[in-house]
Copies of this chain bind each other. A is one copy, B any other.
Amino acid sequence: MGLKTKEEYIESLRAMNPTVYMFGQRITNVVDNPRIRAGIEATAATYELAEMDEYKDLIVTTSPLINEPVNRFTLPPSSIEDLVARVKINRTLGRRVGTCHQRCTGLDCLCALSIVTYNIDQEHGTEYHQRFLEFLKHVQKNDLTCNAGVTDAKGDRSLSPGAQPDPDMYLRVVEKKADGIVVRGAKVHQTGSLSSHEIIVLPTRALKPGEEDYAVAFAVPTDTKGLIHVVGRSTLDLREIEGCDIGNRLYSKYCPTVIFDDVFVPWERVFMCGEVKFASQMVLTFSSFHRQSHGGCKAGKIDCMIGAALTMMEYNGTAGASHHRQKLIDMIHRAETLYGCSLAASYEGKKQPSGTFFIDPVLANASKIHEGKEMAEAIRLMVDIAGGFVSDLPSDRDFENPEVGGLLRKYMKGVDGVPVENRIRMFRLIEKLALESADFVSDIHGGGSPEAHRVTILREVDLEEKKKAAKRLAGIEE
């Protein structure tokens, strides 16, 4: 037990036996499947950095719960310092992996449960918090990765869960037994579900009386019976399968649909069951944490994009173009805005009744609103700087072809002194950074839809205080 090395992490996944489908086929060796493995490697970076002198202090700390060194990805924050560390680690990792490292969502669930189970217990006299702490000890002691099972299938979005023609469109309890519950439904866009040891399920929206079956939170291992992971398509997935024309040579991302086909959960892993009033608090707490996480990792991804754009300017001979420098500044500005608002949300965090610290939701959502709009703009700027070969670069196999490879290398040459291979590789990376669907869509929909972020800041700020200020200056008494 204790901190896992990168290798131990991968072997621990190898020891699991999840039910997985991809391209219509059952996948049995998850860890050595190149597409899934590229995602696992991204999560593995969270273990690797914990071993590296350069990053160890950033990532490893002592858990007050088990009084042992833990990876911060298993640690609900018990101080402002912990909140801030989340953002800085995520930026470091985002820059390092150039995509999503996939380990934040589980942590964000742990953070939310650490606050809300306590609050439920206070009102309902339940014992969820203690159950949760036992689970958390297990996670910390074994340095586990968890996955956030939050987003439901949703069916007809104009109807509430209880009003859907098919009652399973939101995950629900279909049976309660002496030793646990049976749940049915699907959680979609499950980033890194196969890089995780456990999946933590939370409700995805506010619920009302009569929807008790949907108010359920729990954790189960990702290879639990009845759990089916279907790895969907992404734009560049076959590149990894074929081992050819890969942009990010080290890491990637995948987001299965996870079906809960009547899965049994023992009571000791059930953290909410029927308390509809707290569904909203649970999902909002999770989401706000997750939006803070994005402020770090996406800034880190823009760092990569800036680095790629800048390198391409050097390779293309356009490093001196003043309009390109302006575009770089626009990219930097976006990265720092995401980061700044997310950092501020952390520093302005507040202690909750359970002792866990919660971020400032307005500032965290302010960061996310920028992400939802500005990541696309940062991508556009990078592509503008890089040039047209982002769209149609010949394949590695063409470059290797004895008949045309030499000619292609001749014509792909940029400035003197830079090997043509480097320019080719950087174009591939930029294609990946720009047009990998998993990342592109997560910039927009990760952590809830853009409108959800917007509504949150309207709801959370003190509008009365602002009206009062304006009326005083206008000389209006009330």
Contacts and interface: CB of A to CB of B under 8 A. Distances in A.
A84 B343 CA distance: 13
Do most interface residues of chain A lie in helix, strand or loop, or is the interface mixed?
helix
A57 to B, nearest CB: 17
Contacts of A370: 337
B236 A306 contact: no
Q: Which interface class (under 10, 10 to 19, 20 to 34, 35 or more) fits A? A: 35 or more
A304 B475 contact: no
A84, A325, A328, A404 interface centre (most CB from chain B within 10 Å): A404
A355 to B, nearest CB: 22
A224 interface: no
Given A166-B410, A329-B454, A442 B391 contact: yes
Interface string A292-332: 00000000000111111011000011111111011011001
A337 B333 CA distance: 12
Contacts of A133: none
A412 interface: yes
Interface stretch (A108-116, A279-287, A464-472): A464-472
Nearest to A96: B469
Interface in A332-375: 332-333, 336-337, 339-341, 343-345, 347-348, 362-363, 366-367, 369-370, 372-373
A403 interface: yes
A367 B340 CA distance: 9
A396 B228 CA distance: 17
A473 interface: yes
B469 A235 contact: no
A41 B343 CA distance: 35
Contacts of A466: 95, 303-304, 306-307, 310
Which residue, of A328, A376, A470, has the highest number of chain B Cβ atoms within 10 A?
A470
Copies of this chain per assembly = 4
Interface in A226-262: 228, 230-236, 238, 244-245, 247-251, 254-257, 259, 261
A393 interface: yes
A333 B407 CA distance: 41
Contacts of A449: 384, 387
Contact of A157 (B244, B316, B461): B316
A234 B413 contact: no
Nearest to A324: B451
A62 interface: no
A151 interface: yes
A404 B228 contact: yes
A189 interface: yes
A457 interface: yes
Given A153-B411, A231-B394, 6 more contacts: A25-B401, A188-B392, A233-B392, A257-B411, A322-B323, A336-B363
Pick the 4 closest A-B CB pairs, nearest first. A24-B397, A307-B470, A391-B441, A307-B466
